[in-house]
Structure 1
Amino acid sequence: MEQTTAALYVTIGLLIAIVAGLVFWMIRRSRRADAQREATARQHHDETESLRATQAQALADARTQHLSAVAASRRDHDRQQASLRAEIDAHEKLQAAAVFAAARGLKWELASRQQLVTACEQAGLDAVIATNIVFAPNEAGADPFCAQIDHLVVTDNVVLLVENKRWAGMVFDGIHPSTKLPGLATVLNDADLRPPFAVQISRTSRRSLKIRFAENDDSPAQQARQQALRLREFLRATMAPPLVDTCIFYSHPQAHVVTGGSYTERSMTTVMATPQDLPAVLTAAHTRRPGRLGADAAADVIEAVRALGADLVGVGRFEVDYVSPVRLEYRIPAK
């Protein structure tokens, strides 16, 4: 009995020892697992922090590079923009100089050119207005010289030479001033004037007037007729020259013009026009002899004056084909 009890105690002791060993082993194993987990966590944390630091540094480097590239791009853009602006300024300056040079030859006809274009538009004409036509007539026995025509209005029906007179004050063309203002007979003595003639009375100062007599070859009508004959003879070398009608355009907006409307000599009629009646005068010239010229002959005349360096402005169907580099509103700048 005692031996059995002793064996039981030994067995129980062994079981307790085994259980205690298992408990101790499990505790140590749990501690080792906890330590390993902590080590793994620390390693993961360290790796995460390292990755975060690397990513932050990469982002900082990328931001720095981006800002540097943006700054360089902006500097390059600014340089290109400044260079382009300089090129544009130089081009605009060159263009302005070219326009000024072109307009300088038109100086006295810039305003009347605009009035003629506007009048053709109001009249509904298909026309080309040629301005400042310069050519060298070949006249027997005369020294070489240049003739200058203010304007030429060309339609399919007519070639109309327009002599521009920007005369201010009172103008009497073909009309004796004393017949309109009898008191002027005491100072003008105009009874002996014979057509063609023109008289201008203008103010030169607050207390003085100027009187201009333009008679015979110096009269506007005779000047226009002579220029028309010279142009027709000049064109004869390259084409069958068309008849050239003539018009005196008194273009000053503040002039008071008194005329008989036209002057006729040897079947050649010169009409007088003011800004107010210019559209009607152009319409009458265009419709007076329909079909007399024709589109082909009109084109030949236009090309002939283009070759002489004339400024061309198209109206109606000619508007797109003939555009002047000097805009209609352009005026020579004041000094």
Structure 2
Amino acid sequence: MMKYKILVIDDDKMTHLVVKNLLGEDYEILQAFDTQEAVNLLDGESVNLIMSDIHMPGVDGLEFLESLMADSEKRNIPVLIMTGKPTVEKEKKALDLGAAEFIRKEQFKTEREATLERIQAKLVTTIEMELPAYLQFNKKEFVKKLMDEVYLGNFFEVARKLSEMSLNIFNIDHTYFWTIHDGDPRMIHAMGKEELHQFGPDELLSEPTYRTFLTEKKPYLSNHVFGDSDKGIFKEASKKVNLPAEIGIPLYKMTDKQFLKAGRKIPPGTELFAYIVLKRNKLFSTKEFKLLMSLYIQAGTILWRMYQKI
């Protein structure tokens, strides 16, 4: 099993011990005691996450973050900024510079499990693919807002926020979110810019695309749902409000921790937990489809963990 690499940068030995105790069992921990040592390590190592203190001799954590975000090869490595002396100003500056998360060091002890889950969630939502600049920006905005919701909310709040972010960030016109119980769908919510009929479970069960989806358990894309031979649900309703493009995405019964241990892959035969449908007037490009599919499936592992706590 591949172990994800986390680079920890801090001049305090105790912080290294605390982080290793928290994460060392599941991840390979690389240690640097100043930012230059970190740069040297990054020159020869590929890492999945950086955790950096703010206050260090020489170049501090925020200056290092600013330089890292300007490095075309390393700017996509997510960075979690740590500090033992948090202020609103420091947190804002770190996030403005591109930090993925801001963690108070005391949380390693006082909120151990929640902090571990935040780190897992950050690793899960990291997506490595070549994207146009606007999609890269949209992806970062989506992930950052999702992390805020995961930390503060419950399953229903996070699921709803996920759909709202799709409408606002990816210009989706309508979204449906169903959980699946032995093949039977239960609607969590439907929302959009156009008001569509609130379809019941029997209506969804009668849809050929949904029945195929239950069998194949795979995402699908259609840019012409109006056609008889193309995939898509509620075709007539979609035609009335001119929504020809549709993406269907499965969420699986797999937690973020299990997903990471499986090498960020969904093993064959994994059961379905939810069905997401995104409808739009504007046609979807292949890159948009791949990005949305990855974001939702990976976010779904966090949602499954939260759903089990209901």
TM-score (normalised: structure 2): 0.25
Task: Considering fraction of residues, name the structure with more helix.
Answer: 1
| RCO comparison, higher one (Cα < 8 Å, 6+) | 1
TM-score (normalised: structure 1): 0.23
Structure showing greater radius of gyration is 1
